[in-house]
Structure 1
């Protein structure tokens, strides 16, 4: 038997005092509030009363640290999967407001539908779908939890909903430590829920690609 439900969980707040776009850069772990947010997300999933059969995380520090709360509550060690990692982005390590003031940066904005500044959305969707499908079929029973990042989760939502993956990054519905849930019927994914269980008032959330 495959899994019963799959939850894409975003990591908690990152310690990012310079407020840069951190992307795949090393050394960007959770803040104290971020650890609290991750715990609240784990408590929400645990509180559903549904068995969890597997826990998967992106290899980046902030997602591995967010997965620790699930391990503590569920007793499951995470499996690291590179396919659910943050996309690449040419603006890593820079503050976007300053980067946009440099005319040399404008060429990276020429084709936002791809997008021209980083990994193509279609490629992100393909690797996320592959990771989700493998996790679903490799889990004998119970739910799957995948701790990932804002953009991969959001473009997965758009794809499943039949919407264009081109979007305004400022308008993503994917808060820190949010939980977006899916079920698979045959080979068709269906989104069955979105919740924001963590208290995020005053959080700094400017580093997502």
Structure 2
């Protein structure tokens, strides 16, 4: 069986001065700093190609912030961007709201807070893992078809689906504390498949090409 690596790239910082849950809402651009984060991730991937990696396939969530993050990667690696709905941000009942204590006390939200382990306020965790896993395996197969054994793919996605994919690959429970996610802005969660198609979980390699931009940046869980 062939080997491959699929890199899950989280988008850069998003302009969100009102600190809303923006989920799948349109027109949420990267900030200037977020664009620099995306450039840093693209430069890291280009350096890996310069060192011998064969990244031959690039996929993006259709949401604007992901497409803007994918753009410098496409430029640096000279690859087209393929949109894939399967790696989109999950739907969320709280889209468009600033979620704080007073907001959560409103009775209209209570039915959506009954089961945080599912979670009841949005797309179930296991559904997110299923669609992400399908997209990851398809991207790995496409990379191998285009570049041979060891070829790699990049998928530009969002914090929660990336983090759930990692937890699933590591055999950990999907319910978790959002404050403890290790999936920073413009980070790379790389899934290394030594034997694609054998059914074994990938090894995880995590890196933060944009870490120098993190000081002073308030990272909201999700997005």
Which residue is 1:201 aligned to?
215
Q: Distance in 2 between matches of 1:107 and 1:179?
A: 35
| Residues 2, 136 of structure 1: 8 Å contact kept | no
Q: Distance in 1 between matches of 2:125 and 2:199?
A: 21
| Residues 13, 204 of structure 1: 8 Å contact kept | no
Which residue is 1:28 aligned to?
28
| Residues 90, 128 of structure 2: 8 Å contact kept | yes
Matches within 5 A, 1:119-130: 119-130=123-134
Q: Distance in 1 between matches of 2:182 and 2:207?
A: 10
Q: Distance in 2 between matches of 1:168 and 1:95?
A: 19
- Deviations along 1:128-183, whole A, 9 cap, x unmatched? 00001111112222210000000000000110000110111121111000000112
| Residues 13, 176 of structure 1: 8 Å contact kept | yes
- Residue range with higher mean Cα deviation, 161-170 or 186-195: 186-195
| Residues 170, 201 of structure 2: 8 Å contact kept | no
Q: Distance in 1 between matches of 2:207 and 2:157?
A: 15
Which residue is 1:168 aligned to?
177
SS of aligned partner of 1:79: strand
Q: Distance in 2 between matches of 1:3 and 1:99?
A: 48
Q: Which runs of 4+ in 1 moved over 3 A?
A: none
Q: What displacement does 1:3 show?
A: 6.0
Q: What displacement does 1:207 show?
A: 6.6
SS of aligned partner of 1:96: coil
- Residue range with higher mean Cα deviation, 6-15 or 37-46: 37-46
Which residue is 1:37 aligned to?
37
| Residues 91, 99 of structure 1: 8 Å contact kept | no
| Residues 3, 53 of structure 1: 8 Å contact kept | no
Q: Distance in 2 between matches of 1:89 and 1:51?
A: 36
Q: Distance in 2 between matches of 1:2 and 1:82?
A: 26
TM-score (norm 2): 0.89
Q: Distance in 1 between matches of 2:184 and 2:83?
A: 22
Find out whether 1:143 has 2:155 as its counterpart: no
Q: Distance in 2 between matches of 1:32 and 1:2?
A: 40
| Residues 57, 148 of structure 1: 8 Å contact kept | yes
Listed as ranges, the gaps of 5+ residues in structure 1 are none
SS of aligned partner of 1:124: helix
Listed as ranges, the gaps of 5+ residues in structure 2 are none
